[in-house]
Homo-oligomer: A and B are copies of this chain.
Amino acid sequence: MTDFNDKQIHILQVAETLFAEHGFDGTSIRTISKEAKINIAMVSYYFGSKEKLLERLIFFRTNDLKLQLKNVSKTEVSPLEKIENFVDLYINKIDANRNLYQILHYEVSSQKRKIDLKAFTEIKKSNLETLKSIIEEGQNQNIFKKNIVIPLLTPTILGTYFHFHSNKSYFKEILNLKTEIDYNNYIKTELSTHIQQTIKSLLLNEGH
């Protein structure tokens, strides 16, 4: 099965939100069906089981994520600009898929579910390759430092974002972000800039 009908997509979206909010175990089929205003048997009917619903959800979103960051490395701009574009796109993408990442984050770390994350891993590896090629280009042009552990850049980019988001209420408090809009704006401006600067500081040779 590759396509989903409207009702299935609706269920997936409701489930995504609830899973992100309360976790997979913390969300019952009853809650999903109540929230989605569907019959309780529909989940099993459409997806077979609760676990398979999760699988299909990941598939559904991963398909969306497959639009790669690859193209960034192919544009005719400086390596630095490529990095900026790459980080920007990356943050935008995970920000747009907050909920899925939230779910995945948890389900991956607790390996209880034997979810097929191959597709997901592939995307991560592909992104890593893209990043690597950009950085090597910059290193060849002597713009970037030589001693960089590239695989640790992703944890810094994503980790910073997620840690901020995971501690939403804490940061809303200490940064005085009163509304949801304020919070989202802060991510798109200050936090993004911070991550950009972090990565660039790490990469750039002094004097540039």
* A155 proximity list for chain B (CB < 8 A): 159-161, 163-164, 167, 191
Within the complex, which residue of B26, B152, B195 is in contact with A191, where a contact is CB–CB below 8 Å? B152
Specify which chain B residues have a CB less than 8 angstroms from the CB of A26 in the assembled complex: 24-25, 110, 112
- The closest CB in chain B to the CB of A193 belongs to B149
Stretch of A61-69, A85-93, A135-143, A196-204 that contacts chain B:
A196-204
Choose, from A3-11, A47-55, A75-83, A100-108, the stretch at the interface: A100-108
Closest B residue to A112 by beta carbon equals: B22
**What is the number of residues of chain A that contact chain B, defined by CB distance less than 8 Å?**
51
Minimum CB–CB distance from A167 to chain B (whole Å) comes to 7
Taking CB atoms and an 8 Å cut-off, the chain A residues in 28-76 that contact chain B are none
Can you sample 27 A-B contacts with CB below 8 Å?
A21-B112, A22-B110, A22-B112, A23-B23, A25-B25, A102-B109, A106-B106, A108-B169, A108-B170, A109-B168, A111-B169, A121-B170, A149-B194, A151-B174, A152-B160, A152-B190, A154-B163, A155-B161, A155-B191, A159-B159, A159-B161, A159-B163, A162-B162, A162-B163, A163-B163, A198-B198, A201-B202
- The 7 A-B pairs of least Cβ separation, nearest first, read A159-B159, A159-B163, A25-B25, A201-B201, A155-B163, A109-B166, A159-B160
